[in-house]
Amino acid sequence: MLSRIVFIALRLMVYFFIISLVWVVSLKYIPVWFTPYMIATKLEVSKEEGSAELHKDWEPYENISKELALAVVASEDQNFPTHWGFDFDEIYDAMTEDRKRARGASTISQQVAKNVFLWHGRSYIRKGLEAYFTVLIELIWGKERILEVYLNVAEMGRLTFGAEAASLRFYNKSAKNLTRHEAARIAAVLPNPIKFSIKNPSAYVQKRTNQIMRQMKYLGGQKYIAELK
């Protein structure tokens, strides 16, 4: 009986690996039109309000302002070009800091893995799968594709996902035409795009926008992300 259980478990693991590998390889080339989080958000709002229109519009990386690409790296994950999916220094700092509320240490790669392949929530199983998919996309997609997907699926406002949708909705322009200040403001709301507003920025968002712009300059501007592969 035990050997049969082990055999079934190993077989399921092989099936899962093959399916997940095909899934990740496919999404290296196919636009990510929907994510589990988008669907969950739409269902939740529809349940409360009766209807919910998602604002989303996939754009390839070359059609998105590199100021925005730089802004999210400067704001969310400054070691993105060089790490392999996990920023262990940030993880250590987050674990050892004496703060009332623990801060996050997820890299852009981890956020993409979570948003594209998994459900939102807190469990050891989900964290384990997040790490697994993070490794896969780092190995198969590469940095530019990871950043491209992030810029297209990240929540940037209520029912608003991705750079193009946020730019059109809040700035009345395409994402490829964003200025540095506009890009930094979008990045400034990413920690909580429901609480913070791009269109009507609070004093905190304005302060955070200026901080991000300084970090963008400190990193050396767009050349910091120019050689992503």
pLDDT of residue 102: 47
Which is more confident, 68 or 46? 68
pLDDT of residue 100: 52
Give the strand pairing for 160-161 and 55-56.
parallel
Question: Which amino acid is located at 130 in the chain?
Answer: E
Q: Say whether pLDDT at 101 is over 60.
A: no
The model's pLDDT over 147-184, given as tens digits with 9 standing for 90+, comes to 999 999 999 999 999 999 999 999 999 999 999 999 99
Its sign, for the CA torsion 174, 70, 166, 140, is: positive
What is the phi/psi pair of residue 6, to 5°?
A: -65, -40
Helix 124-140 and helix 108-117, axial crossing angle in degrees, nearest 10: 110
What ranges make up the beta strands (E) of the chain?
Answer: 55-56, 155-157, 160-161
Span 29-35, mean pLDDT? 95
Contacts of residue 142, defined as CB under 8 A and 6 or more positions apart, other chains included, come to: 228, 229
Span 118-126, mean pLDDT? 85
Span 91-109, mean pLDDT? 67
- Tell me how far apart the alpha carbons of residues 108 and 113 are, in angstroms, rounded to a whole number: 9
Residue with tokens 């070691």: 79
Q: Which of 215, 229, 193 is nearest to 70 (CA)?
A: 215
